Amino acid sequence: MEVDINKQEMLQRKKNAVLVDGVFLNGPIADARAGEKFVEDACKIIMEEVIQKAADVTEKVCEWQPPEKLKKLLDLEMRDTGEPHQQLLQLCQDVIRYSVKTNHPRFFNQLYAGIDYYSLVARFITEALNPSVILLAVASIGCFTRRCKNPHRRYTYEVSPVFLLVEEAVLKKMIEFIGWNEGDGIFNPGGSVSNMYAMNLARYKYCPEIKEKGLSGLPRLVLFTSEECHYSMKKAASFLGIGTQNVYFIKTDERGKMIPEELEKQVQRARKEGAAPFLVSATAGTTVLGAFDPLDKIADICEKYGLWLHVDASWGGSALMSRKHRKLLHGIHRADSVAWNPHKMLMAGIQCCALLVKNNSDLLKKCYSANASYLFQQDKFYDVSYDTGDKSIQCSRRPDAFKFWMTWKALGTTGLEERVNRALALARYLVDEIKKREGFRLLLEPEYANICFWYIPPSLRNMEEGAEFWEKLHHVAPVIKERMMKKGSMMLGYQPHLGKVNFFRQVVISPQVRREDMDFLLDETDLLGRDL
């Protein structure tokens, strides 16, 4: 019956055909019914192979294949003609099969993990709607309470009304948790971009003429950051034309925290050299050790020398949600800007990254606006104050705040707090277990969810800890990592760091992780490495 209807439709189109440049313009070119059927079948595969297996520890974390073999297993070639739906569905299954299951309870490899079902649904919605929130979103607590005539919004309301209001609400709450009375903000594609935004904003604040006149004639600008900072600070300095040699890396203590006295020495050094210090970037939750810089003392130095204080809290910012652990970020309210990634500890789904700015004088807009007349017409039929959002270097921009908003709505602030508290409690449990077990050694007592440790196989346990011992130990972690990947039992990262030989870095994030998974991690590490 359906086939007959389709034939009748085709005959009718041919009968009333309109031909332009050799192209028939009658009816849509896409087969909606076939497309809908494909989406329906693909969603079943996603549900069965990804979502329903997310918390199943009997499933493999990964089905490891070397690159050349994987190329042969996957049909990667794009052809002149399209392929049938069954073949496309098989491709979907193959992609899922050979991808790393970051939602697996035993995926400990990165600073993101697990599955948040509410954020996932939000992503389905935004992918289906395909909206753009190009140009910015901000929030001002003072503006909300005073009901300002011209609240600062992003892009144009006509294109993205719902997501505009959602992002505004999310930024407002994040600003509150930092401890500011008012502020501004934008969601960016990654914490690295947030750090670059902050660096450029600090430079613009220091010398506004750079926007129009460029770098010529400027003094040698210098910024300061910890030697444990994220590598994006160095990249940003290169990208913005500041130069990596003008990034002064400040010494850290044995826990990886910036030493304020060393910072002040370097600021004084730069001034004696005739350079122009303009920015200090502190870190709240370093990538490897999970260290939190002493923000209050750093803020004192910034105030003394008139420097912009940026805090890269991409990883550690989520501790602000916990009344028990927010003390780790004591002094963050004194920062001029903060990078915070809810897609990490709060599991809002990659990517979900905000830059928050204390200054509420339209500094973001002044720094980044281009005044595109084809977007911001003044004779629209609605309140055009909602269109004042020219504050992003991007044009099209994803509505990333919606994922976090949906999760926050589902769990509430108390649920997000519980997520942070449980992750850190599991980290504490693992630390206590490491101390009990022969062959495991902590690098240091962690203050966050990063647990760094060595596994020392039996063959090295009675060896004198000289150069040969450390050289042999350096090769242990890579071998264990290879074995766990090929077995698919778990994923755990390792690295050398600041003169220390390779060690494991375990990170607890996912609420699907149980105490039993912590025990398994240690048992499996010993099983895979005891013969080395």
CATH of the domain at 256: 3.40.640.10
Give the pLDDT score at 389. 54
Mean pLDDT score of the chain, rounded to an integer?
88
Token readout for 3 is: 């086939």
Average pLDDT over residues 80-102: 94
The lowest-confidence range among 27-31, 274-278, 499-503 is: 27-31
Say yes or no: 209 and 91 in one domain: no
pLDDT band at 9 (very low <50, low <70, confident <90, very high): low
Same domain, 376 and 441: no
Which of 116-125, 383-392, 402-411 is predicted with the least confidence, judged by mean pLDDT?
Answer: 383-392
Does any domain span residue 123?
A: no
Task: Confirm whether 155 is domain-assigned.
Answer: no
- What confidence tier does 23 reach under pLDDT thresholds 50, 70, 90? confident
- 51: CATH: 3.90.1150.170
pLDDT for residue 498: 87
Q: Which pLDDT belongs to residue 156?
A: 62
Query: Could you tell me which of 186, 159, 489, 107 has the C-alpha nearest to residue 363?
Result: 186
Q: How confident is the model at residue 199 (pLDDT cuts 50, 70, 90)?
A: very high
Q: Does the structure show a pLDDT above 70 at 134?
A: no
Are 433 and 353 found together in one domain? no
Q: Which residue has the higher pLDDT, 368 or 107?
A: 107
Tokens read off for 29: 């070119």
- Among the three residues 378, 398, 418, which one is the final residue of a domain in this structure? 398
C-alpha span between 514 and 423 (Å, rounded): 10
Q: Do 359 and 418 fall into the same domain?
A: no
Which of these ranges, 24-38, 45-59, 374-388, 431-445, has the smallest mean pLDDT? 374-388
Give 160 or 448, the one with higher predicted confidence.
Answer: 448
Q: pLDDT of 471-484, one tens digit each?
A: 999 999 999 999 99
Q: Considering only CA atoms, which of 385, 393, 409 is closest in space to residue 164?
A: 385
Instruction: For residue 130, count other CB atoms closer than 10 A to its CB.
Output: 7
Mean pLDDT of the region 80-106? 94
pLDDT grade, residue 25 (50/70/90)?
A: confident
Verify that 379 and 415 share a domain, yes or no. no
pLDDT at 154: 43
Q: Answer whether residue 156 is part of any domain.
A: no
The answer to whether residues 170 and 85 belong to one domain is: no
Q: Is the pLDDT of residue 99 over 60?
A: yes
174 shares its domain with 282: yes
Mean pLDDT of 299-325: 97
Residue 116 lies in a domain: no
pLDDT at 364: 83
Model confidence band, residue 180 (pLDDT cutoffs 50, 70, 90):
very high
Instruction: Give the number of residues written for the chain.
Output: 532
Residue 77 above 80 pLDDT? yes
Verify that 392 and 488 share a domain, yes or no. Answer: no
What is residue 20's predicted lDDT score, i.e. its pLDDT? 79
pLDDT for residue 112: 87
105, part of any domain: no
Residue 204 resides in a domain: yes
Contacts of 510 (CB under 8 A, 6+ apart): 103, 105, 107, 113, 114, 115, 347
Is there a single domain that holds both residue 416 and residue 393? no
Predicted pLDDT at 14: 60
Query: Total domain count for the chain?
Result: 3
Is the pLDDT at 278 greater than 80, yes or no? yes
List, for residues 34-46, the tens digit of each pLDDT value. Answer: 999 999 999 999 9
Percent of the chain with pLDDT over 90: 71
Closest to 285 measured CA to CA, from 258, 312, 246: 312
Cβ partners under 8 Å of residue 381, min gap 6: none
Query: Is pLDDT above 60 for 369?
Result: yes
**Is the confidence at residue 31, as pLDDT, over 90?**
no
Instruction: Look at residue 11 and tell me whether its pLDDT is greater than 80.
Output: no
Q: How confident is the model at residue 8, as a pLDDT?
A: 64
Mean pLDDT along residues 321-341: 97
What b-and-e string marks burial along 31-52, b requiring 16 or more CB atoms within 10 Å of the CB? eeeeeeebeeebeeeeeebeee
Domain range spanning residue 461? 409-528
Residue 21 confidence class, pLDDT cut points 50, 70, 90: confident
Same domain, 333 and 281: yes
Q: Identify whether the C-beta of residue 99 lies closer than 8 Å to the C-beta of residue 59.
A: no
- Would residue 500 count as lying in a domain? yes
Query: 371 and 263 in one domain?
Result: yes
Specify whether 337 is located in the same domain as 250: yes
